[in-house]
């Protein structure tokens, strides 16, 4: 598939840490979809990372992947990698690489158990988009330190299955504040963990295009990137 020349940017004017920005990192944003394609794939704002955005699964060989400090699955869906590409990505993580999944990344690679553990859960289904209250569980993480303990946000709220028990839950959905939740009192919507030699961060937010214009959500993504880059 043709490599996109679009740019996905998540370091924002006014949000950049001048110490962090001194070191340039290489980030690969993978946005291949074999199912539903999210409009949010096409958006972005300027930042100071060196970013390559692609839909080309051929980039998933270890010689290429080792050039990157972080690989982001941005609203990927379906079966996007073949068996050789999967092995290359497993090697990348085992060698200390980092992974970040955004929204539909959990709607990806259902036949790859290793990926299920890496991303932290699989998508089950979702109700109609709505406003809901998110509870902040961990205050000290760079992706949540700026958020209130209860945050109202409008998005598409995933229900999950096969949740990895080893994840550290950052944000939890309050199912009493919207209709259609199926995970009950334990409904994580953002989390992180160390896995198989590397780092992993996932947020279930980020379906709507409008989300990427919101300072709170953009800082949330930025903090996730900082975690993945061990900064």
For position 222, which CATH number holds?
3.40.50.880
**41 within a domain of the structure (yes/no):** yes
Alpha helices in 47-184 (DSSP H): 62-65, 83-94, 113-119
pLDDT (average), residues 39-61: 68
Q: How confident is the model at residue 5 (pLDDT cuts 50, 70, 90)?
A: very low
Query: Is residue 171 one of the residues assigned to a domain?
Result: no
**pLDDT score, position 10:** 40
- Is 211 within a domain? yes
Query: Does residue 164 form part of some domain?
Result: no
Q: Residue 163 domain-assigned? A: no
User: Containing domain of residue 85, as a range?
Assistant: 20-120+186-228
| pLDDT bracket for residue 31 (50, 70, 90) | confident
Of 22-36, 51-65, 117-131, 204-218, highest mean pLDDT: 117-131
> 89 near 61, Cβ under 8 Å?
no
The answer to whether residue 108 is domain-embedded is: yes
In a domain, 9, yes or no: no
177 CB-contact burial (10 Å; exposed 0-12 / middle 13-18 / buried 19+): middle
Within-domain flag for 8:
no
Q: How many domains does the chain have?
A: 1
């Amino acid at each position: 598939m043709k490599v996109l020349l679009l740019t996905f940017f998540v370091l924002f004017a006014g949000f950049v840490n001048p110490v962090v920005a001194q070191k340039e990192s290489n980030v690969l944003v993978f946005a291949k979809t074999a199912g539903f394609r999210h409009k949010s794939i096409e958006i972005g704002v300027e930042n100071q990372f060196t970013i390559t955005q692609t839909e080309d699964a051929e980039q998933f060989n270890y010689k290429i992947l080792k050039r990157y400090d972080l690989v982001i699955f941005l609203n990927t869906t379906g079966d996007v990698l073949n068996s050789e590409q999967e092995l290359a990505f497993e090697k990348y993580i085992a060698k200390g690489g980092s992974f970040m999944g955004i929204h539909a990344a959990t709607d990806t690679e259902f036949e790859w158990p290793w990926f299920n553990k890496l991303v932290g859960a699989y998508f089950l289904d979702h109700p109609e988009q709505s406003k809901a209250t998110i509870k902040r569980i961990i205050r000290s993480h760079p992706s949540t330190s700026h958020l209130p303990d209860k945050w109202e946000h409008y998005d598409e709220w995933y229900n999950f299955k096969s949740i990895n028990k080893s994840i550290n839950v950052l944000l939890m959905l309050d199912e009493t504040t919207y209709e259609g939740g199926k995970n009950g009192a334990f409904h994580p919507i953002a989390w992180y963990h160390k896995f198989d030699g590397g780092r992993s961060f996932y947020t279930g937010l980020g379906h709507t295009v409008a989300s990427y214009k919101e300072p709170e959500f953009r800082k949330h993504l930025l903090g996730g990137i900082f975690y993945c880059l061990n900064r």
